[in-house]
A = this chain, B = another copy of it.
Amino acid sequence: MALSKIHSEDVSNARAECSTTLRPTVPELEALLHTPLPVLDHGFVRVVDYMGDDNSVVQAARVSYGKGTKKVSEDRSLIRYLMRHRHTTPFEMAEIKLHVKLPIFVARQWVRHRTASINEYSARYSVLDKEFYIPSEEQIAAQSSNNKQGRGEILSIEDARFVMHLLKDDAERNYSTYKKLINDPNDNDEYDSTRQSVARELARINLSLNTYTQWYWKTDLHNLLNFLQLRADGHAQYEIRVYAEAILEILKVWTPITYEAFCDYRMHSLTLSRMALEVLKRVLAGETVTEDSSGLTPREWAELDTSFALSRKNSNAS
């Protein structure tokens, strides 16, 4: 694919130009700068540039909250304090720029995170490559069984293959029509000199939503965490979640203390509503609370029960 070739050249060029700088620098992140991390069947994420590190968060917070000492152990405490109390502005002081290749339907979810800068490959000006996302058999089965509209049964291998076949067939036909519409005289295989070519901006409307696009995406650490919390979550669609997971790995390398605090105080935290808080207090005070006496909705009771095994506790108690 043409794009991939350009990239690998870009990557070597970019990785060849080494400079000295007085800016905060993260050697571990430098090691993977510019290199694409593969995601899905044709996608990738690569870090193109960054600004700041864990210490940039600390530095900004110290402007606000006073200076104090500067040991690393205290930096860690400060970052964890900020994360825990949702003091978010210091996390805006670090920035990252990613080059991402992703299916259009994933891009449509991603773009809803508005506090970010984007430059996307434009199919008004350039011709898209013949690359589209086809889910694996396992993914088709897995997602369909989670599907609330589904009937709970898992797709058979035959059915999954049939689905893959249909998706591939349609995507190829759409792409072939797209090329037929563009009818590029420089493209010997496809060119038909008896027909005029159609504007690229119109031809592209025939492509399917699993076609790959790519963009530069730049955001600050705070908004990156918001993105990750939503998109690395189990409720996110698998195809965007794998991008979020790749970025989590980047985060771990870039700002390891922030990463750890984010996991502890946001990703793996649990928020108790006023009502759930009351129930837990009653249980801890020794009371036996059942779904009926909890005052919670069945769904909220079930979720609290899943976290704390309240039913078991009660049955133990009795």
Contacts and interface: CB of A to CB of B under 8 A. Distances in A.
By size class, the interface of chain A is 35 or more
Contacts of A277: 268-270, 307
B283 A309 contact: no
B105 A199 contact: no
Contacts of A198: 140-144, 147, 155, 163
A205 B51 CA distance: 35
Q: How many copies does the complex hold?
A: 4
Contacts of A19: 20-23, 25, 27
A124 interface: yes
Contacts of A17: 22
B205 A167 contact: yes
Given A159-B195, A199-B144, A63 B120 contact: yes
A99 to B, nearest CB: 8
B51 A197 contact: no
A149 interface: yes
A33 to B, nearest CB: 5
A190 B170 CA distance: 18
Interface string A8-52: 000000110111111111010010011000000000000001111
Nearest to A80: B297
18 contacts: A19-B23, A20-B30, A60-B119, A64-B120, A64-B122, A95-B218, A143-B197, A149-B200, A149-B201, A154-B196, A170-B173, A267-B274, A269-B271, A277-B307, A281-B308, A284-B308, A284-B309, A286-B313
